[in-house]
Structure 1
C-alpha cells in the first residue's frame, strides 16, 4: 500500500480512529491493532510475502528468548549464527540469486566457456532489506547483552512490522523503538500537529519535487545519447533532487505517521546536500543505514583502529557492502566503490571528521558544498543507470559540452509549466534547508509557506491516480 494512494487515505483514518477512540488506554489492544494493520498494509502489495516477514519474526523472537536463557559462549554464537543465516539467507535468495547466477555465467563467458544455469522468476519482496536489518539489530543486541529479550511476541511482531516505516525505513534499532511498545501512550495534540506537518512536507517532497523531477529523469536516462550535454547535466541534478525528495519524503511521512500514534522514530536525513565533504554527506544521508553499518559491521571489523591499511580495508568493505545492499546490480557496487574512493583521501589525511560541528558558514564552506554536491551527483549517475557501460556513456556525453541547450524543458507549454513548478519546488526545498543550515533552526512558521505547500500538493493530486512508487521500495 502506497502512502500516496486512495487506499491509504481510507486505511489511515480507520486505524487512527480505532487506535485512539475504540482502544484508548488499552495498550495490549493497541499493539494488536498495529500488528494487524501492519500485516494488512504489507499484504496489500502481495499477501504471499507475509510468510517471509512472519518467519523472520518468529525466528528472531525465539532465538532471542534462547539467548536470554544461556550464558554458554558456544551456544550463544550458534544461536546468533542461526539468526544471521536464516535472515540473510532469505534476503540473499530473493534479492541476489539471479544476480549471482547471471554473474557466474558472464564470468565464464568472458573466457570463452559457455555455461548454462537456470534462473528463477523471483519477485523481490518489498522492504525485505529494511525489516531484515531491523530484526537482526535485535538479535545482535541481545547477543551482546545490550538489551534483554522481550517476552511478548505481540510487542516484538508489532515492532518488526510497524507500518509507517516497514518498507523503506528508517531502519529502527530495537533498543530505541521496541521499548515504546511497552509503554502506555496518550494522545498529545501538539505531537499530532507536528506529525501532520511532517506528513504534508514529506508528501510535498514526493509528489511535487520527486515525481516531477522523475518526469524528466526517466526520459533522459532512457536514451541519453539523444540529449544535449546541458540536458544531461540537468537530468543528473534532477535525479539528485528526485532521490532525495523521494526517500527523505518517505522518511518524513513515516516519522509523521508515527507521531500520530505516539511513537518517535529516528531522524534519517539531515540536509545531506549541504555537506562539505563525502564523510559529512554520509553522516547526513540515510543515517539509519549508515549508523547500522557502522555499529554492526565497521566497528566489529576494527573500525578506525589499527594500521592505515587496516582502516582502508574496513572503509572499502563498508562502502562496497553498502552499495551491494542497495541492489543486485554491479552499478550499485561501483557506486559504493566510487564513494569509498572519494572518502579515502579524507581518511588518509585524517580530515574525515573535520565537519562534525558547524557554528557558521563562510564562502569557503559554500564552495566545498558545491564541489561535494557535484561529486555526489556524479555518483548518482551510476546509481540510476541500468549498467556500468550506460553510466560511463552518460557521463561521456555530458562532458562533451557540444550542446548546452535545454530544448527538452520547453518543447511544449505543458512541459514548461511542469518544469517551472519543479524548479520552484526545488527552490523552496533548498531555501528551507539553507535557512536551517545558516540559522540553525527550522523555517519560520509562516502561514503563506504552508499554504503554498498545500496548493502545490492539490495541483499535483493526479499522482493519486498514477501513483509512482517510492524509489527505495525496490531495495
Structure 2
C-alpha cells in the first residue's frame, strides 16, 4: 500500500477513527489494533513476508527478555549473537545471496575454473533493511545496558511493525519509540494539524517533484550513449532532486502520519542540500541510518582500536562501504560508498576546527560552499543510479567532454514548466530550514495565506497524481 495511493487515502481515516473513537479507552487494545492495522498495511504488498516480520519480532523479544535477566557475560554475548545471526541472516539471504553467488562464480571463471552454480529467484521483501536494523538495535541496546527490555509482546510487536515507518523508516530506536507504546496517548489538535501539514508537503515532494523527474531520468539513464554530456549532467542533477524529494517525502508522510496517532518519530532529513561541506551533508541525510552506523559500527570500531589518523580513515571507509552495501547488492553501491568516504574524510578529520567557525544554520553568504557540496552529491549519484560501473564511467566520460557544452535534449516548454516547481521546492525548503519540516514556519502566517498554500499544494498533488510511482527506497 503506497502512501500516494487511493488505498492509503481510505485506509488512514478508517484506522484514525477506530484508533481514537473505538479503541482509545484501553492502551493495550489500542496497541493490538495498531499491530493488526500495521500487518494489514504490510500484507497489501505480499502477505507471505509477514512471516519474516513475525520471526524477527519473536526472536528479538525472547532474546531481549533473556538478556535482561542474564548475568553471565558469556551467555549474554551468545544471546546477542543469536539476534545478530537471525536478523542479518534473513537480510543477507534475501538481499545478497545472488550477489555473492554470481561474484563467486565470476572469480573462479577468471582463473579458468568455472563452477556449476545457479542463482535463485528471490523477491526482496519490502522494508526488510529497515525493520531488521530497528529490531537489531533493540537487542544491542539491551546488551549494552542502555535500555531495559519490554515484557509486553504487544508493545514490542507494535514497535517493530508500526505502519507509518515500517517500510522505509525512519529507523527508530527503542529508547525513543517503545516508551510511546507504553504510555497513554491523548489526541492533540495542534500536533494533528502539524502532522497533516507535513503529510501535505511530503506528498507534494513525492508527486509534484520526484515523480516528475522520474520519467526524464529513466529515459536518459536507459540509453546514456545517445545523449550529450550536458543532458547526462542534467539527468544526474534531476536524479539528485528526485531521490531526495522521494525519500524525504516518504519520511515527511511517515512522521506526519505518526503525529496523527500521538507519536513522535525522529527527524530523518535536515535540509542536506544546504550543507556547507560533505560531512555536514552526510549527517543531515537519512539521519536514522547514518546515526545507526555511527553508534553500532563506527564507535565500536573506534573503541576497539587505538585512536590514530590511520584508524580513523580505515574506520570511515569500513562504515561507508557497509552503508553502500546496505543500499543494494551491486558494485555500484559499494563504489558509491567508497566515494562518499573520500568526500567525508577531509571534514571528518578537521571537525573540531570547522565546528568553531560557523553557525549551525546555513546563511545565503555561504552559497558557494553549498553549491560545491551539492555538485559532489550530483556526481556521486551517477554511481547510485547506474546499473553497472561500466555505465557510470561511460556517463562520466561524456559529462567531462566537449558535449557538456552542447544544447541539452531536455529543453522544451513542458520541462521548463516542471523546473518552476523545483525552484519553488528549493525556496520553501530554504525558508523552512530552521524547522523540523519545511512548512513548520507557516504557523505564523495569517490563516488566509495558510489556506491558500494548502489548497494550492492539494491542487497540484491531485493534478499530477495520475502518474503514480513507487518510492525509490522500497527497493532497499
TM value normalised by structure 2: 0.94
1:370 corresponds to which residue?
Answer: 371
Between the aligned partners of 1:352 and 1:331, the Cα distance in structure 2 is 33
Between the aligned partners of 1:221 and 1:68, the Cα distance in structure 2 is 51
Between the aligned partners of 2:169 and 2:181, the Cα distance in structure 1 is 18
2:130 is the alignment partner of 1:130: yes
The structure 2 residue matched to 1:361, chosen from 354, 360, 363, is 363
Distance 1:40 1:188, change over 3 A: same
Between the aligned partners of 1:458 and 1:43, the Cα distance in structure 2 is 26
C-alpha displacement of 1:397: 1.1
User: SS where residue 34 of structure 1 aligns?
Assistant: helix
The structure 2 residue matched to 1:408, chosen from 407, 410, 415, is 410
User: SS where residue 154 of structure 1 aligns?
Assistant: helix
Distance 1:360 1:258, change over 3 A: closer
2:467 is the alignment partner of 1:471: no
2:440 is the alignment partner of 1:435: no
1:309-366 CA deviation, whole Å, 9 max, x = no partner? Answer: 1111110111000000000101000000000011223344456853774356253x21
Between the aligned partners of 2:40 and 2:358, the Cα distance in structure 1 is 42
1:242 corresponds to which residue?
Answer: 242
Give structure 2 stretches of 5+ with no counterpart.
none
1:17 corresponds to which residue?
Answer: 17
Between the aligned partners of 1:230 and 1:249, the Cα distance in structure 2 is 28
After superposition, residues 208-227 of structure 1 pair within 5 angstroms as 208-227=208-227
Contact 2:34–2:158 at 8 Å: present in 1 too? yes
1:287 corresponds to which residue?
Answer: 287
C-alpha displacement of 1:23: 1.1
After superposition, residues 89-104 of structure 1 pair within 5 angstroms as 89-104=89-104
1:423-460 CA deviation, whole Å, 9 max, x = no partner? Answer: 12211111012223489995444434333312211211
CA RMSD, 1 decimal: 1.8
2:207 corresponds to which residue?
Answer: 207
1:450 corresponds to which residue?
Answer: 454
C-alpha displacement of 1:408: 3.1
1:343 corresponds to which residue?
Answer: 344
1:240-275 CA deviation, whole Å, 9 max, x = no partner? Answer: 000000000000000000000000000000000111
1:360-403 CA deviation, whole Å, 9 max, x = no partner? Answer: 6253x211111110011100000000001111111111221325
User: SS where residue 40 of structure 2 aligns?
Assistant: helix
1:43 corresponds to which residue?
Answer: 43
Runs ≥4 residues deviating over 6 A: 438-441
Contact 1:217–1:238 at 8 Å: present in 2 too? yes
Which stretch shifts more, 340-349 or 202-211?
A: 340-349
Between the aligned partners of 2:362 and 2:226, the Cα distance in structure 1 is 43
Between the aligned partners of 1:16 and 1:88, the Cα distance in structure 2 is 34
Between the aligned partners of 1:436 and 1:29, the Cα distance in structure 2 is 38
Contact 1:91–1:132 at 8 Å: present in 2 too? yes
Between the aligned partners of 2:289 and 2:118, the Cα distance in structure 1 is 33
Between the aligned partners of 2:462 and 2:50, the Cα distance in structure 1 is 34
Q: Aligned residues, how many?
A: 465
2:5 corresponds to which residue?
Answer: 5
2:397 is the alignment partner of 1:396: yes
1:33 corresponds to which residue?
Answer: 33
The structure 1 residue matched to 2:463, chosen from 459, 463, 466, is 459
Give structure 1 stretches of 5+ with no counterpart.
411-415
After superposition, residues 172-321 of structure 1 pair within 5 angstroms as 172-302=172-302, 306-321=307-322
Between the aligned partners of 2:116 and 2:379, the Cα distance in structure 1 is 36
C-alpha displacement of 1:228: 1.8
Contact 1:269–1:285 at 8 Å: present in 2 too? yes
C-alpha displacement of 1:225: 1.2
Between the aligned partners of 1:308 and 1:427, the Cα distance in structure 2 is 41
Which stretch shifts more, 350-359 or 32-41?
A: 350-359
